[in-house]
Amino acid sequence: MPDTPLPTKTFSIHTLGCKLNFSESSDIARQLKEAGFVLDDHPDFIIVNSCAVTETAVKKARNLVSKLHRQHPEAEIVIFGCYAALEPLIIKQWEGVGAVFGSADKHHAIQYLKGEPLPEAQPFTASFSSGDRTRSFLKVQDGCDYYCSYCTVAKARGGSRSDTIEHVMCQLEKIAELNVKEVILTGVNLADFGKKNGESFYDLLVKIDQSALVPRVRISSVEPNLLYDEIIELVAHSKTIMPHFHIPLQSGSDRILRLMQRRYGRALFQNKIDMIKRQMADAFIAIDIISGFPTESSEDFEDSYNFLAKLPLSFLHVFTYSKRPGTPAAMMKQVKDSVKRERTDRLLLLSEQKKQDFYRQFIGQTRPVLFESDCIDGKMYGFTDNYIKVGIPWREDWANRIVDVMIDQQQTLGHF
């Protein structure tokens, strides 16, 4: 008699946190499909990619797992990611959870689900997202050697490690074959790329720029002290790498930066901003800023706020300080929640003002826009080279294409 075929295994995957997590989740989903698994609303296995950057992120993971278990009591839940690396014993006690993998070995979940022996941990696992025709997040670096006093990422993801330039280019070729028009380079400490294998982030960017495999490349978050002048100069002269920077400042107060154990002062940060704007007046510059860091006085905050107000920034990603157990900052004197909320609100208003000031500069100009393939309420959306989001009436022939569009007030949306 012929062998009875094994039943098809089904799964669902849920991602919390950053673009790096999104890239890794997409890669895992793709590998599971290649192994014969089927993405389904009634899964045998539920995969959750967790985040631990804030207390809110941890609560989201716990609430999500609880909700998923109620909806699918027969499914086995497999959790990986940063929070899984920090508190695996706690997570294993949650109802429905069958296995927990940390950030460094999250790809072992594939072997676990397939019922295969788990391999030895790899120093770096490459991944890229492929669910979106228009863009892909390409992971080139992981881990961090910077132990900032408020952060658990270095502990959760391990030491800094990265891909090789040769393999990144192979990944980029695969992405190009999917007709993806834009690639976002991602990592935990992205510009740390290559430092342990004799390569550098600048070398990688040069290779990508010369290859022109995809029309657009964006750089995700880069530490100020690693945003070398040669990188800024390369972006300024590149037709492939977009004039778009995301730089985590965290505070505009030198006293607070020292307490955060950051590796720069605000003078270095301002120097980088000035250099970008001298060479690329149209560059979009987003920063990360934390409000209410422990011991932050009113004077510290006003010092930071005034520093930010004077800088030619385009957008502020504002994070209210969240105490993370086991970090040095958790042992410092905490700022009252009401004060933190007030400072966050002020920074958000400043961000909105800066965004509108940035957008206003380009009304009436023609910029290249990469339009996405989705039709939403009769409209299509896309980003200019310098990250202005625009919306126009749906045109099927413009989907996943870069088109020169004159920007007007009605088109700019300001959604980030």
Q: What is the CATH number of the domain that holds 88?
A: 3.40.50.2300
- Give yes or no: residues 240 and 269 share one domain: yes
Which of 86, 113, 140 terminates a domain? The answer is: 113
Positions of the chain with pLDDT lower than 70, given as ranges: 1-7, 103-104, 106, 117-124, 126, 130-132, 410-416
- Give yes or no: residues 90 and 131 share one domain: no
- Give yes or no: residues 216 and 337 share one domain: yes
Q: pTM here?
A: 0.75
For residue 255, what is the domain's CATH number? 3.80.30.20
Amino acid (1-letter code) at residue 323: K
> For residue range 359-409, what is the model confidence (pLDDT) as tens digits?
999 999 999 999 998 888 899 999 999 999 999 999 999 999 999 999 987
Q: Judging by beta carbons within 10 Å of its beta carbon (0-12, 13-18, 19+), is residue 59 exposed, middle or buried?
A: exposed
User: Is 416 among the domain residues?
Assistant: no
User: Is 118 among the domain residues?
Assistant: no
User: Is 5 among the domain residues?
Assistant: no
- Give yes or no: residues 107 and 131 share one domain: no
- Give yes or no: residues 156 and 283 share one domain: yes
- Give yes or no: residues 385 and 301 share one domain: no
Determine the pLDDT at residue 92: 81
Determine the pLDDT at residue 115: 74
Count how many domains the chain has. Answer: 3
User: Is 289 among the domain residues?
Assistant: yes
Determine the pLDDT at residue 416: 31
User: Is 188 among the domain residues?
Assistant: yes
What is the span of the domain harbouring residue 86? 10-113
- Give yes or no: residues 370 and 395 share one domain: yes
Determine the pLDDT at residue 120: 47
- Give yes or no: residues 312 and 378 share one domain: no
- Give yes or no: residues 375 and 320 share one domain: no
Residues β-bridged to residue 304: none
- Give yes or no: residues 133 and 253 share one domain: yes
Determine the pLDDT at residue 90: 83
Long-range contacts of 205-209 (CB under 8 A, 24+ apart): 205/231, 205/234, 205/235, 205/238, 205/241, 206/234, 207/165, 207/168, 207/169, 208/168, 208/169, 208/172, 208/240, 208/241, 209/234, 209/238, 209/240, 209/241
**Is 233 in a helix, a strand, or coil?**
helix
Which of 113, 147, 177 terminates a domain? The answer is: 113
Burial 152-187 (b: 16+ CB within 10 A, else e): bbbbbbbebbbbbbeebeebbeebbeeebbbbbbbb
User: Is 2 among the domain residues?
Assistant: no
User: Is 412 among the domain residues?
Assistant: no
> For residue range 137-168, what is the model confidence (pLDDT) as tens digits?
999 998 898 889 999 887 777 788 999 999 99
User: Is 263 among the domain residues?
Assistant: yes
